[in-house]
Amino acid sequence: MTLKQLEAFYLAATCASFAVAAQRLHLSISSLSKRIVELEQSLGETLFDRAGHRAALTPAGVRLLPHAAGMLESAQKLLASLGKEAGLSGRCRFGVGELTALTWLPRLLTQASLAFPQLTLEPYVDIGTVLERGVGDGELDFAVVAGRSSRSALASHSIGEARFLWVVATRLAPPGMGAAALLATLPLVTLHIGAGTTRILDQWLAQQEVAAERRLSCNGWGAVAGMLVDGVGVGFLPEGWARALAQRGQLRILDGQAALAPLHYTFQSRRDEPRLLVAKMREIITRVADFSATSALF
Amino acid sequence: MTLKQLEAFYLAATCASFAVAAQRLHLSISSLSKRIVELEQSLGETLFDRAGHRAALTPAGVRLLPHAAGMLESAQKLLASLGKEAGLSGRCRFGVGELTALTWLPRLLTQASLAFPQLTLEPYVDIGTVLERGVGDGELDFAVVAGRSSRSALASHSIGEARFLWVVATRLAPPGMGAAALLATLPLVTLHIGAGTTRILDQWLAQQEVAAERRLSCNGWGAVAGMLVDGVGVGFLPEGWARALAQRGQLRILDGQAALAPLHYTFQSRRDEPRLLVAKMREIITRVADFSATSALF
DNA sequence: CGCGTTTACGCCTCACGTAAACATC
DNA sequence: GATGTTTACGTGAGGCGTAAACGCG
């Protein structure tokens, strides 16, 4: 029994497939498979049931899992007690929404690479549901997404909220007009369904008893902002963007009485995540996250 | 960093020398040395100071030691949680006094090999001081010796007491005569100084205000018993032996008012001993130990 | 010079990746 | 046939023991 075998077992047991686990170990699938077979031989127990389409933990494997996690955690603490940077090297893959990518992600990368010079940071930008699946499958160490996770295997920690303001091109509407009224004549320009803002938008529409008859969705905030500036329709933008564009006179903020609810963002990772690094990254993110920040693009 | 490296480090740090540690790992000294060098390289810390005649732990080594012990213990528990016999295989070296060897050691070996079929038991018979040094140096996993240890690194657990009776050859003395009186004319036949009985003998002599003018010592109870039967002098034997030989008429028990104090035996192991096996062996020994048992030789 | 540790070297096992085979859906 | 895991095999690094060297008492 070796630590490498235990690590391979732990990841294979917690990731969606051997392929994902192998990727996270920088190992070929075949080598991962052999490591696990060798662990099984050294323990004299079958840990995975390969009968079905995908390998499933046997009862012995289930019994072993917490012990293996404990060993790996002990090993990490051992390393942490000596070399400070130990355990905080290697790669860290994580997911963020586009809003994050365009606001505080650069600052996060600066801070994190300052704190962990040995660490290779690999952010993936995608919509929340994709990121959640990535964390669940073990492809990502964590993700910052809107709202709490519906997956019981993931733990959510609130890290802040983003506020949005309804806007429209200055030339399309006189001052004082509300978003609800404009939606009667202008199309709604927003993100694709599945993005984090979908929920607060639906909530707002229901509350206002307004239906968005014409709807135009795109998969990026940058494109949405561009369309709104060009006068394609009415929509909402992150507060910082809206204020920056309004100040330049390109957009008018529709600050009627009915504002969009703030969108809460959470840090999501596996509930059984043993890596110290993930906890440290959460600390930094909690400190750095600021969804009202203006993008460096402006 | 591997478990083998940590194990090598742990043993090298707790044993008297690399040679002893290597012996316990069934490894050559050179391989042990390399394992430790490799651990140092992987941790980026020097763990042993090789400046002096013998390797000594550096501060970093001292910091690492408890972590390494914890890892090894976790590994053991992991194995114990799956395969029952796991962790209880391999070799177990321990020391016992000759009295133990001639009374309950056979029963211990029977019981222990029944409880741990995979285990190779290696008892070493010697006098207490030698055994204590062996445990302290790491050559022995534990020892059963008379009295508590004077070494602070060893933990002592009482497991029973042995009683001794003064005897003399039947033909040498009429009934009713005491040992103190006989010592005036007959030599004292006893074990070498350093044996566990030395203390209770000295105590008895002081209490009786008797000096053993002629003294004849040997390094084995069997030889002492033989000499006493042959009428070489007066001496004492373990209670069971004395009664067995008296019943056959070969010896007379000198049951005067002044009996020897009972000799307390303790189970001694390293205070930081992490092996489950040692605790289990102590349980069995506590159950099995019986110093009044008659040797199978009779 | 003895003792304890390290270095040098030849040997062999072990762990890796590529590629093919196998099994399940 | 697509996906997921294992087997076959050639290669290279790593761990082993023997033997010689080093360094301190």
Pairwise CA distance, residues B39 & B31, whole Å: 12
Residue B134: band (very low, low, confident or very high) from pLDDT cuts 50, 70, 90: confident
pTM over 0.85: no
pLDDT at site A144: 94
Q: Is the CB of A175 under 7 A from strand C?
A: no
What DSSP character marks residue B195? B
The most distant pair of C-alpha atoms in chain B lies apart, rounded to whole Å, by 77
Output B197 or A91, whichever has higher pLDDT: B197
* Share in percent of chain B as helix, strand, coil (round to 5): 45, 20, 35
The most distant pair of C-alpha atoms in chain A lies apart, rounded to whole Å, by 78
Q: Which of B125, B160, B162, B157 is nearest to B267 (CA)?
A: B157
**Which residues 21-50 on A are within 7 A of strand C at the CB atom?**
26-31, 34-35, 38
Edge-to-edge strand list for the sheet holding B234-238: B215-218, B188-191, B234-238, B164-169, B251-253
The nucleotide minimizing the C1' distance to residue A16's CA is D4
Task: Report the range of poorest mean pLDDT among A21-30, A86-95, A111-120.
Answer: A86-95
Output B256 or A225, whichever has higher pLDDT: A225
Structure tokens at B28: 């050559």
Q: Is the CB of A30 under 7 A from strand D?
A: yes
Contacts of B3 in chain A (CB under 8 A): 1-3
List helix spans (H) across chain A.
Answer: 3-14, 18-24, 29-43, 59-82, 98-102, 105-115, 128-137, 179-182, 197-208, 221-229, 239-247, 276-288
Output B207 or B274, whichever has higher pLDDT: B207
Average pLDDT, whole number, for chain B? 87
pLDDT at site A83: 66
Q: Is the CB of A18 under 7 A from strand D?
A: yes
Count the residues in chain A: 298
Q: What is the mean pLDDT of residues B226-243?
A: 91
Q: What is the mean pLDDT of residues B177-206?
A: 89
Contacts of A4 in chain B (CB under 8 A): 2
